[in-house]
Chain A
Amino acid sequence: MASIRLENITKKFKNTTAVNNISLMIADGEFFCILGPPGAGKTTLLRIIVGLEKPDEGSVIIGDDAVNEIHPSKRDISMIFQNLALYPDKTVFENIAFPLRQQKIEDEEIEKRVVEVAKHLKIDWLFEKIPSQLSGGERQRVAIGRAIVRQPKAYLMDEPLSNLDALLRLEMRVALKELQTNLKETFVYVTHDQVEALSMGDRIAVLNQGKLQQVDDPAIIYRMPNNMFVATILGNPPMNFLKCLLRRKNGTLQIEHAAFTLNSEDKKVFSLLKAGVGATGIVLGFRPEDIKIHLSKPGTVSIPAEIYVTEPLGSETIVDIKLGDNVIKVLAPPDFVGEPGQSVWITANTHKLHLFDESSHECVFHATEKSAFTIEA
């Protein structure tokens, strides 16, 4: 049981900065996900916490103790590696018992604890086997068993589910979340899979190119992304972006695209114009589920468009829509039928739109119920 605090951690490998000035506070008993694409520095960050890498700058604090100078074997943190790193020549029992053996615990006590953990994970009938004789899911459980048997201060996991097939991954995801709910221990979970992060994390930290992009609840990160990167990495299909022009006209502010215009009277949007944001252009972002497609012209204000291609998925249909020179993805119900080239009309959920600065990619404005836009075709 311990919190983990990172203060201004920086780590360079030769010319690349793997982790760039990151500060994080992971609360005691929290399921904390670190999400990012390959090469974002998330594994390096994990290895710094456990002590397999030394940060060039900054400090790691576990509980109340700074552990920078403490050897990983003394930090009392367990880690599950991406390839699990089970000891291939040792039996399942010895694999799980290994961390206890290092603590000079009596054999009887070791046996008792290993059996207890294995029973809980339903792998106690595999004790005599070696890892190569196990299935993917069983190996996973042995790795979890080895991690929890010594009751460490925190658990670190580096994409432990990435080598499993889809069905097993789902099962293990549920099992891991259940385990954490029961143990109430600190879990730090690294992944590149947004579904894993959304489904397991109490909070998510999004990382890109060594820099922290956003830390928050899954729902908030999804609804209010800090920048275009965060908006893209969460959600499938990801958020649509349209490059627009920002200008003032007759006391309202207009966001202009070839196919439509948005009007806003929100003061915050006005201040953007003053601050010079979006001087070259501004990017309008919206999620595929916030757009509705109409096969005939609806009564409300709608934007005429044309179907580019449809992708039926069974439970829903992704419709690619041509809007000016851009193609956007829209989620439609499973029974949606449309031909490429067919004319349609779209309406948008105007309080779920976002504006991003084109040059910095930062989000400058989230629309809300109060400050929704109005559409002009």
Chain B
Amino acid sequence: MANIVLDKLVKRFGKQVAVNELSLEIKDREFVAILGPSGCGKTTTMNMISGLLKPDAGTVRFDGSVMNNIPPGKRGVGFMFQNYAVFTYLSVYDNIAFGLRIRKMETEQIDKEVQEVARLLQIRHLLSMPASNLSINDMQKVALARSMVVKPQIFLLDEPLSNLDAALRNVMRAELKKIQQELGQTTVYVTHDQVEAMSLADRIAVMNFAVLQQYDAPHNIYNRPKNLFVANFIGSPTINFFEGRYRGGEFNLKDFSAGKMSVSKENKKQVDDSIRGEDIVLGIRPEHLKVGSSRDGVSGLKAKIVSVEPLGSKTIVYMHPDGNPSAILKSSMDSDFKPKIGEMTSLIINEKNLYLFDKKSADLVMRFGS
């Protein structure tokens, strides 16, 4: 049982600030994902939790006790890295038993623990195999088993699924979540893949340029992103942005030849109150931006269809807005939608799905429909 508190952590490499005043509280039994593009400081943060790196300022606390000067081996954390260190000269069994033997556990007890973990990860049939003969996928499971078997209170995972093929990544994602829910260790998971973060975590810490952008439940991160970066980073296909100005209850969007969109009466006051400057960015997720003419909420905005992605379960339509052929809009439609490439079409936007950002600060200032 352990909670983790990071208090104003700072880490510099030379002049480069890798992590800047990061404060994060991870509850006992919580699954937290640290999400960000490469170089955002997520792995550095993880290494400070594990003790591989010493923070330049700030404290790391486990259950209230300061860990800054405790070496990694004594912190009671289990790691699993991107390139899983499996000893290829040992059998799978010996690999998994390795950490237990170091802890001088009795042979019978070791056997019990190894069998239990192997059952959980469905690798019992592999136990007697030499680790060098494993496929990458199985190797991943062995690495996971090895770090799980010592029952650490805190489990640190650094992009553990990134070397797997797509099919297995799907399966392992669900397995990982299931295992964590069963064992209930506090888990910190570093990834650059928003799908993994969204699907696995109880809460997500989104980082960019060494700074924490938002720390919240997946649902809130998706629906109430704090700024343009978070909005853009979460969701696939990515959110659509329309730059423009707001004046007198009306948006004027730059990328469209007829880009006027007026705000409904109910929302006008709220927009007037929350707006910070005339220059704004409107955001709308692809699943809320529809194409066609027959439905309600036709916005008067026009776009030209340039590409269609029939993904089987849905169809993604790519468009250029009629005033800017280098911008790309994405719309997620039902799979039976059959658009014509090159066709000029109307955009259907329901006001309640809009996100309103201030352009200058990039912050979300208002979420329509909430």
Contacts and interface: CB of A to CB of B under 8 A. Distances in A.
B235 A235 contact: no
B167 A166 contact: no
Contact of A340 (B181, B285, B335): B181
Given A238-B170, A314-B198, A320-B174, A195 B234 contact: no
A162 to B, nearest CB: 13
A187 B199 CA distance: 37
Given A238-B170, A308-B174, A311-B199, A170 B328 contact: yes
Interface string A323-351: 00001010100100000100000000000
A218 B238 CA distance: 23
A145 interface: no
B177 A311 contact: yes
A273 interface: no
B286 interface: yes
Contacts of A315: 222, 235-236, 285-287, 332
Interface footprint category on B: 35 or more
Given A174-B307, A289-B313, A311 B200 contact: yes
A181 B170 CA distance: 34
A246 B178 CA distance: 32
B313 A288 contact: yes
A222 B307 contact: no
B182 to A, nearest CB: 9
Contacts of A311: 173-174, 177, 198-200
A236 B308 contact: no
B207 to A, nearest CB: 17
A: contact size bracket: 35 or more
Most chain B CB neighbours (cut-off 10 Å) among A198, A308, A309 = A309
Contacts of A178: 306-307
Contacts of A200: 307
A218 B310 contact: yes
B102 interface: no
B106 interface: no
A173 B306 CA distance: 11
A312 B312 contact: no
A199 interface: yes
Interface in B254-288: 285-287
A287 interface: yes
Interface in A215-274: 218-219, 222, 232, 234-238
A314 B310 contact: no
Given A309-B181, A312-B199, A314-B198, A37 B307 contact: no
A275 interface: no
B63 interface: no
B309 A309 contact: no
Contact of A219 (B170, B223, B310, B313): B310
A318 B287 CA distance: 16
A199 B235 contact: no
A30 to B, nearest CB: 15
B108 interface: no
B214 to A, nearest CB: 14
Nearest to A337: B219
Contacts of A218: 310
A340 B342 CA distance: 46
Nearest to B38: A165
A198 B310 contact: yes
A118 to B, nearest CB: 16
B15 to A, nearest CB: 24
A235 B313 contact: yes
B242 interface: no
B309 A314 contact: no
Contacts of B235: 314-315
Nearest to A170: B237
B251 interface: no
B286 A309 contact: no
Contacts of A237: 170
A37 B170 CA distance: 16
Nearest to A311: B199
B285 A199 contact: no
Nearest to A289: B313
Nearest to B318: A174
Contacts of A309: 174, 177-178, 181
Contacts of A222: 310, 312
Most buried by A among B166, B181, B332, B335: B166
B195 interface: yes
B218 interface: yes
A211 interface: no
B41 to A, nearest CB: 18
A137 to B, nearest CB: 12
- Which of B198, B200, B235 gathers the greatest number of chain A CB atoms within 10 Å? B198
B167 A314 contact: no
Interface in A158-204: 166-167, 170-171, 173-174, 177-178, 181, 195, 198-200
Contact of A173 (B219, B287, B307): B307
B195 A313 contact: yes
A248 to B, nearest CB: 33
A214 to B, nearest CB: 15
Contacts of B335: 289
Interface in A289-335: 289, 308-309, 311-315, 318, 320, 327, 329, 331, 334
Given A287-B312, A314-B198, A236 B170 contact: yes
Given A198-B312, A235-B311, A312-B219, 16 more contacts: A37-B165, A174-B306, A174-B328, A181-B342, A198-B311, A199-B307, A199-B316, A222-B312, A234-B312, A235-B313, A236-B170, A308-B178, A312-B199, A313-B236, A315-B285, A340-B178
Sort A-B residue pairs by CB-CB distance and give the 10 closest, nearest first.
A311-B199, A199-B309, A314-B222, A289-B313, A222-B312, A177-B307, A174-B307, A320-B174, A309-B178, A309-B177
6 contacts: A167-B238, A219-B310, A311-B198, A312-B219, A314-B234, A315-B235
Interface of B: 165-167, 170, 173-174, 177-178, 181, 195, 198-200, 218-219, 222-223, 234-238, 285-287, 306-313, 316, 318, 328, 330, 332, 335, 341-342
